[in-house]
A and B are shown apart, each in its own frame.
Chain A
Amino acid sequence: MEVMVPKENNNDQVVMITKLYVENGCFIDQGADLIEFETSKTAVVLQSPAAGYVTFYYQVDDEVEVNSPVCSINDKAPESDLSTDKEIINISSDTKRHDGLTFSKVASKLDKNLTDLDGHYWVTSRVLANSDPLVRAGLESQEKNNSNRDTKVQSSISSDIDVREEDYKVIKTTMRKRSEISNLRISGGGEFQSTIGIEITGGSRLAKNLVFESSIQDLVCYESSKMLGNEYNDLNAFYISDSEIGIFNSVAVGISLDNDNNKLTVARINDSNTLTLLGIQDRLGSLFIQFEDGTLSAESLMPSTYTITDLSSSGATYILPLLNGAEALILGIVRKGYDSFGVYASFDHRVSSGLRVSHFLDNLKARIEAHFDFTSTVEGGKCDFCFKSLSEELELGNRGLLCLSTPAGQKNICSNCYAGW
């Protein structure tokens, strides 16, 4: 007997399979959990209407039309069909024949290390399995994932932007997200970008850096890259279609650069989540110089996975950054006060949600603020060498005391003592 997908609500024409409770061909008891699928509202678990052997017509992440058959329950176990491609692990399209070796058709579709086949003349898939460590380890079906790629990918990306297929993996969006997109499309007139902002307090950095003395761009770059490379990987993504998004395999932050001479450019730092803060600062410095010189490399002009635009040196106190190309997140930095910055995150509602992005910003704030020393105050400071007070230093027209890292720990030093050093 065939098992049909029930119509749980009037809105859904399709559901997405999220879990299969038994393996194909296995026996299931009547009433046992059979399939979980997701509607636009909730997840639904379907129980088996009968006892028998299950033959699934779909896999996890497949979409199935409501009121259509999703599997069958049979009296006999289904026979395996070696002729279908599903049974074959297709690692490589290369099929080489070695003189003297005869391969079965199944074996000929598998990649093989011919040196492991010494002593063989007739090669079956089992011979390969016992000889080839890759096959033995069980390889992922990348070909299957690639074959499921939606052709809509190309249509959602600007023809000016080149996103290489090997740079991302495709995942299905949930039914609820699709429903949300659909609603946004209807109600928002097609606009899917939202912006959320947060205020970050700066101050005296624990690790001084003259270049980024009055900016937090490096910290935003450093911490956001780390987060996007880990727990917020879903923001390191882009919209493909209502049913699919692309998650980038690596993090490459794009730095928005603009001056009076050169047009707006976004230069990227590859694998930004793997760099240290000093590394980020160094790369940023290089980009600044290259941009000024007009010598940015082609590599650095490749598309980034997300973008940071820093207007904290201007007088702007608010920004609504626009998403750039195949990205789901852009961070804009403005200065709110002397030691106060605003970080605004514009995101693609088709990829993420306001709640998710706000959590991201909360964490980003905490991480950035951890770079600052809020325990020391201007009034309490003094030169540890001549004991001149901060206020005395300021009266001399100097900016303040310098923070010196020494083997004995951090020391304050006035400019006079520093010059004499």
Chain B
Amino acid sequence: MSVYTGAVQDLIDELGRLPGVGPKSAQRIAFHLLKIPTVDAVRLARAITEAKERVTFCERCFNLAEGTLCGICSDDRREPHVLCVVEESRDIVAVERTREYRGRYHVLQGAISPIEGIGPDQLKVKELLARIDPEGVTEVILCTNPNIEGEATAMYLGRLLSPLGLTVTRIASGLPVGGDLEYADELTLGRALEGRRSFDS
């Protein structure tokens, strides 16, 4: 049942397609947009069009990029022989925030999930393998999520990469800083114990 005139209803319908936006929120946003000055609304429209036009995936690592290579791949100061494999571009932002990593990335654009029918072929795995030799990669860090899909992906890649004679590492699992031990789940605490370090090292 549409009670609004064509253009308003179209706007509500389009907004309603966005993740996390229901019909009621869509209505609220639509009315907000109609109320604000035209310049503000046009600026939003232009930001969307420009982002869609300019942003593509980096040819090398499949991160978001403006142009053929992303900011990290085109930065000469980055260590070229270490690759950090992540599931999504968002994960790069998370790793970058640590300021602990100076190498390059590879975005798989997903994780292996048999139940959803996502296998290695749907991910950027072939592209990862094709980078190893030409770029002289000596270490691959498997930085997928520590959940069942991410673990399966890491195991799959580990099995594929280890025979190539390079260092393959998996990020550690453990307790979040600032948390309480008593709330830790068994698997995490178990792995934290397993991966404990000698105190004087």
Same complex: no
Interface residues of A (CB under 8 A from B): none
Q: Which residues of B contact A (CB under 8 A)?
A: none
